[in-house]
Chains A and B, each alone.
Chain A
Amino acid sequence: MFTVFDPLLITAALLVMIAGTAVRWRSWQRGRKEERSGDWKGLCGYLLSHRKIMRKDRSGIAHLLLFWGVLLPLAVIFLAQFSFVLPAKLAGALSLFLNLLGAAAIVGILFFLVRRMGKDGSPPEGVLPPAVLLLFILLSGFEAQGVRLNIVPAPLWTAPVGALFSALSPASPLFLQLLIRMHLLAVLLLVATLPFTFLRHVTAGALNVYYKSKGPRGALRPLAMEEGCLGAKTVEDLSWKQLLDAEACVSCGRCEENCPAFLSGKPLSPRKVIRTILNQMATPRGSHPLLGEAVTTEELWSCTTCMACVAHCPLYIDPLDKVVDMRRYEVLGKGAAPVEARPMLRNLELFGDVNGKSASHRTDWALNQEVPLLSGQPVEVLLWVGCSGAFHPAYRETTRAMVRILKKGQVSFAILGKEEKCCGDPARRLGEEALFLDLARENIRLFNRFSFKKIVTLCPHCFNVLKNEYPALSDNLLPGNFEVLHASQFVLELIEQQKITLKYPVRSTAAIHDPCYLGRANGVYEPLRKIAGAVPGLVLHEFQRTGESGFCCGGGGGRMWLHESGTHINTLRAKEIAQSGVGLVSTACPYCLTMLEDGLGGLELEKRPKVRDLIDIVADSLG
């Protein structure tokens, strides 16, 4: 069957593939350096379980079928090159198995073809040719089997799909030869073009999963300021791993489908951001166009940093860290922070809080509350109040509620009082890295002066920054001898240890709105539900979009200080809440609280569901 040319052809195809891969390899290797370690186990688990890919049912299953439907027959064909004899029964069973797998792969590829075509009739670049080629390979394989069955019959059960093909095929050895040659050529073409089509995700995607980040999702990558980097001006300012991200993207659109900015009609699409980077990587070194020419500032400032894109990408791609790096360049490189946010940034710089009320008012909320101030005395808990907890009129109530709970639980706690500064989250997520570092260092210095075992924060944004971002600061001032907990985690401990009891009923149907920086960023889902379950009278439902798929309130990433045009994200969420019919939405974040209240207010409903922080609910129920 083989001709003398075949080894030549195969070698040529492999060489083209290797050369192509080397070119692509260089295009992402030129990124900035970054420490990453690989994870074989993680990669194998990922491929075997397919769990991440199957997050979206139908395309996940299609991928699973295609993956095994191509991989296993390939393995068998490879093994078949060595001569050995199998018992007839076993050989028949193997043949049946391969037959079914091949059919499954055809179903998978047809699904993808229809879905990719169906979206808007124009599939992303590089998707169609390899998909058609793959389909051709599978079909020609079966047709060859059909013809062969007509020439050399075999039991029907060993090749049912082949038998179907044989019904319509001639018994021509010449035709069989032709089919086999075409099949082989198609395979070689697929192999040779692999690095140039979206099928390169077979290698780049696997690498990306291998090198996936192991840290908490909520932690942003530090900026290499000491190397003179002020954010991403061109693709070369991104790290090799960030470029590998783009290389691995299959343009599936899952990020986009879950992006609150995209869904509310803003110009941002995380997929487009990644595709833009991919396109610009192809330009020769030193002549990269500015990223700002392809990704507009409106796109950048639309992001709420909710991490839905990160959570849903089947290939562990992180569109958010690119957006933040581009924001950094806008702010640090060009001095072009959005106009509406400038007063807030200035307040942070001058007064250390987002409201510009200054330290002298930071403890006004605690007036007549007898809240202990941290001093030389060691305490168990440092209650981190945060700017919202200290200044936002509604959220001050929540802070007081937390104090009531801590006192009831006889916890030894204290606050930093006037010395506490903003944690720096709004500045960092708006790209003002220098300001973030200043604030963070001041707070860390403060931590080092006192003795406590735990920091408990009310705001998930403070929680995330303190827990995940402070320890990574280059000058590592943090001793790391304390734990950072969110209020919900700590209150659950109190309930479980029966230090507090929830006695008074709160009669309502309720659902949890998962704050992005508790949930997606830190995986804190269960405590909220367990606490709600412990409140007598509360009947808990779940929203349709909840947990990892929870929908953002629209307030993160500094968006609390930015103008929102068109449909508001909080309005979308408010509509979902209204439709769910619950009487109470419980969240655990000052931004969510404000945003949902505002969104529901705007709907002008006859009966408006209440929005409350879980801590307030607990305080109401406290026995």
Chain B
Amino acid sequence: MIRVLARHSEGVFDEATFGLIAEARRLLADIGGEGKVTALVLGSNLSPESLSALGPRGADEVLYLESKAFERYRGELFCEALCELLSKGSPSFFLMAESEETSDLAPRIAAHLGRPLINRVVDLKIPRKGEVLAFRPVLNGYVFEEVAAQCEGGPVILSFLPSVLTADEPDAAKEATIRTESWMATKTSGVRLLEVIEADPGSLEIEEAPIVVAGGRGMGKAEGFSPLFELAECLGATVGGTRPVIDAAILPFERQIGQTGKSVAPKLIVNCGISGANEYTAGMEKSLLVIAINKDPRARMFNFADLGIVADVHELLPLLIARLKEIKD
């Protein structure tokens, strides 16, 4: 029997979860194919329809624990609830996908149950009955190590790197049995949730930002950068810059993109007044969608752009900002 932690945002399950279920099915086949794959869902107010999305992905059973307390991730509560579930029915594996939350949760559960945990797993093997061999990258991905764990006496906890998880095609004919239980914490928690402060895109690490607005020498001196910040705010983007901008102390070094700065690969990057020197593009070439705004039609930046606009940034940006604000309103 294999259990899988299903991750969702207000009832919408993510791809990694589907991938995890597919992984669980493979693992189940490897250990002889007996038992079930059960998806554990913790949440509040989830509709039965949303839970039924897991069946076609390969879950035999969905166990939904409902509690007000599960609205947000809370380490001690999630751990308590999951440990209760795992100590029943003697599952041999508990699978989850690596995230900020699970890197807190997995060691808690492992410690509570006194069971082995292997994190950042990229591949699995069952060398013989009762043993599992996991592969994971170490030293910044330079090498891989093999970690073995014994399956005797309770579940082995495996946390996968989400990038290696690929979902199977959904099979509409499959359905999972769905069980819903409500849950109450038995222990009183020492932690109270006072307030939730959302991350400000402006202060996000530039490597993590999904949208980046980058400015170069073409933006002018410090005052010239105000439209750039305004554009970033409209787009919910994080601001970066070229080295001359950092040298002029307009932005701190943490915001430098390029060969001697950060390497970024956001979903969208808007390059304003940047010539596109090799040392800059080395740090952003892997971005998904690239927009370049430069008044010089021969700027090298355009070689990298999906959309290139030959314009003066100080004419174009105010128009763009006004339009974005209009759309928002």
A residues touching B (Cβ–Cβ < 8 Å)?
Answer: 335, 340, 342-344, 346, 349, 355, 392-394, 560-565, 568, 594, 598, 602
B226-285, CB < 8 A from A: 244, 247, 253, 256, 259-261, 263, 278-279, 282
Contact between chains at A340 and B261 (CB < 8 Å):
yes
- Give min CB distance, A593 to chain B, whole Å: 11
Known: A392-B278, A393-B300. A561 touches B142 (CB 8 A): no
Does B141 belong to the interface (CB within 8 Å)?
yes
Contact of A602 among B140, B244, B261, B279 (CB under 8 A): B244
CA distance A6 to B313 in the complex (A): 89
Determine the chain B residues whose CB is within 8 A of the CB of A346 once the complex forms. 140-142
Closest 5 CB pairs of A and B: A563-B260, A343-B263, A340-B260, A393-B278, A392-B278
Known: A563-B256, A565-B253, A602-B244. A342 touches B140 (CB 8 A): yes
Determine the chain A residues whose CB is within 8 A of the CB of B327 once the complex forms. none
Determine the chain B residues whose CB is within 8 A of the CB of A344 once the complex forms. 259
B259's nearest neighbour on chain A, judged by CB, is A561
CA distance A577 to B217 in the complex (A): 23
Contact between chains at A561 and B260 (CB < 8 Å):
yes
Contact between chains at A564 and B260 (CB < 8 Å):
yes
Does B193 belong to the interface (CB within 8 Å)?
no
Known: A342-B140, A346-B140, A563-B256. A594 touches B279 (CB 8 A): yes
B residues touching A (Cβ–Cβ < 8 Å)?
Answer: 139-142, 244, 247, 253, 256, 259-261, 263, 278-279, 282, 300
- Give min CB distance, B38 to chain A, whole Å: 39
Determine the chain B residues whose CB is within 8 A of the CB of A562 once the complex forms. 260
Contact of A563 among B142, B261, B300 (CB under 8 A): B261
New A-B contacts (14) at CB < 8 Å, excluding given A346-B140, A349-B142, A594-B279:
A335-B139, A340-B261, A342-B140, A344-B259, A346-B141, A394-B278, A560-B259, A560-B260, A563-B253, A563-B256, A563-B260, A568-B247, A602-B244, A602-B247
CA distance A393 to B276 in the complex (A): 11
A347's nearest neighbour on chain B, judged by CB, is B282
Determine the chain A residues whose CB is within 8 A of the CB of B253 once the complex forms. 563, 565
Determine the chain B residues whose CB is within 8 A of the CB of A568 once the complex forms. 247
Determine the chain B residues whose CB is within 8 A of the CB of A564 once the complex forms. 260
B141's nearest neighbour on chain A, judged by CB, is A346
CA distance A340 to B263 in the complex (A): 9
Determine the chain A residues whose CB is within 8 A of the CB of B141 once the complex forms. 346
Determine the chain B residues whose CB is within 8 A of the CB of A355 once the complex forms. 282
B244's nearest neighbour on chain A, judged by CB, is A602
Determine the chain A residues whose CB is within 8 A of the CB of B279 once the complex forms. 594, 598
- Give min CB distance, B4 to chain A, whole Å: 32
B278's nearest neighbour on chain A, judged by CB, is A393
CA distance A345 to B253 in the complex (A): 21
Interface hub of A343, A349, A392, A562 (most chain B Cβ within 10 A): A343
CA distance A355 to B300 in the complex (A): 17
CA distance A343 to B263 in the complex (A): 8
- Give min CB distance, B299 to chain A, whole Å: 13
B279's nearest neighbour on chain A, judged by CB, is A594
B282's nearest neighbour on chain A, judged by CB, is A355
Interface hub of A355, A394, A562, A568 (most chain B Cβ within 10 A): A355
Interface hub of B247, B256, B260 (most chain A Cβ within 10 A): B260
CA distance A488 to B300 in the complex (A): 30
CA distance A563 to B256 in the complex (A): 10
CA distance A549 to B142 in the complex (A): 40
Determine the chain A residues whose CB is within 8 A of the CB of B247 once the complex forms. 568, 602
CA distance A197 to B253 in the complex (A): 45
Determine the chain A residues whose CB is within 8 A of the CB of B282 once the complex forms. 355
CA distance A394 to B263 in the complex (A): 21
CA distance A523 to B263 in the complex (A): 37
Determine the chain A residues whose CB is within 8 A of the CB of B259 once the complex forms. 340, 344, 560-561
Name 29 interchain pairs, CB-CB below 8 A, sorted by A: A335-B139, A335-B140, A340-B259, A340-B261, A343-B263, A344-B259, A346-B140, A346-B141, A346-B142, A349-B142, A355-B282, A392-B278, A393-B278, A393-B300, A560-B259, A561-B259, A561-B260, A562-B260, A563-B253, A563-B256, A563-B260, A563-B261, A564-B260, A565-B253, A568-B247, A594-B278, A594-B279, A602-B244, A602-B247
Determine the chain A residues whose CB is within 8 A of the CB of B244 once the complex forms. 602
Determine the chain B residues whose CB is within 8 A of the CB of A335 once the complex forms. 139-140
Interface hub of B141, B261, B263, B278 (most chain A Cβ within 10 A): B278
CA distance A594 to B261 in the complex (A): 17
A338's nearest neighbour on chain B, judged by CB, is B260
Determine the chain B residues whose CB is within 8 A of the CB of A560 once the complex forms. 259-260
CA distance A356 to B132 in the complex (A): 35
- Give min CB distance, B265 to chain A, whole Å: 11
CA distance A594 to B247 in the complex (A): 17
- Give min CB distance, B219 to chain A, whole Å: 15
- Give min CB distance, A433 to chain B, whole Å: 14
CA distance A344 to B282 in the complex (A): 10
B303's nearest neighbour on chain A, judged by CB, is A393
CA distance A106 to B259 in the complex (A): 55
- Give min CB distance, A192 to chain B, whole Å: 54
Determine the chain B residues whose CB is within 8 A of the CB of A343 once the complex forms. 263
A391's nearest neighbour on chain B, judged by CB, is B278
CA distance A107 to B271 in the complex (A): 65
Determine the chain B residues whose CB is within 8 A of the CB of A561 once the complex forms. 259-260
CA distance A335 to B139 in the complex (A): 8
CA distance A342 to B141 in the complex (A): 11
A337's nearest neighbour on chain B, judged by CB, is B140
CA distance A393 to B301 in the complex (A): 12
CA distance A565 to B256 in the complex (A): 12
Determine the chain B residues whose CB is within 8 A of the CB of A349 once the complex forms. 142
CA distance A555 to B239 in the complex (A): 28
Determine the chain A residues whose CB is within 8 A of the CB of B256 once the complex forms. 563
CA distance A564 to B253 in the complex (A): 10
- Give min CB distance, A302 to chain B, whole Å: 13
CA distance A226 to B259 in the complex (A): 34
CA distance A562 to B258 in the complex (A): 10
B262's nearest neighbour on chain A, judged by CB, is A340
- Give min CB distance, B302 to chain A, whole Å: 13
CA distance A598 to B263 in the complex (A): 20
CA distance A340 to B261 in the complex (A): 6
Determine the chain B residues whose CB is within 8 A of the CB of A392 once the complex forms. 278
CA distance A564 to B247 in the complex (A): 9
Determine the chain B residues whose CB is within 8 A of the CB of A394 once the complex forms. 278
- Give min CB distance, B301 to chain A, whole Å: 12
B248's nearest neighbour on chain A, judged by CB, is A602
CA distance A563 to B260 in the complex (A): 5
CA distance A353 to B141 in the complex (A): 18
Determine the chain B residues whose CB is within 8 A of the CB of A393 once the complex forms. 278, 300
CA distance A393 to B244 in the complex (A): 20
A342's nearest neighbour on chain B, judged by CB, is B140
CA distance A343 to B262 in the complex (A): 9
- Give min CB distance, A198 to chain B, whole Å: 40
- Give min CB distance, B270 to chain A, whole Å: 22
CA distance A568 to B140 in the complex (A): 30
CA distance A568 to B248 in the complex (A): 12
Determine the chain A residues whose CB is within 8 A of the CB of B278 once the complex forms. 392-394, 594
CA distance A403 to B316 in the complex (A): 44
CA distance A340 to B141 in the complex (A): 16
B140's nearest neighbour on chain A, judged by CB, is A342
- Give min CB distance, A607 to chain B, whole Å: 19
Determine the chain A residues whose CB is within 8 A of the CB of B261 once the complex forms. 340, 563
Determine the chain A residues whose CB is within 8 A of the CB of B140 once the complex forms. 335, 342, 346
- Give min CB distance, B243 to chain A, whole Å: 8
- Give min CB distance, A13 to chain B, whole Å: 57
Determine the chain A residues whose CB is within 8 A of the CB of B142 once the complex forms. 346, 349
CA distance A564 to B279 in the complex (A): 14
- Give min CB distance, A383 to chain B, whole Å: 22
CA distance A355 to B140 in the complex (A): 18
CA distance A392 to B259 in the complex (A): 12
- Give min CB distance, B207 to chain A, whole Å: 11
- Give min CB distance, B137 to chain A, whole Å: 12
CA distance A346 to B141 in the complex (A): 9
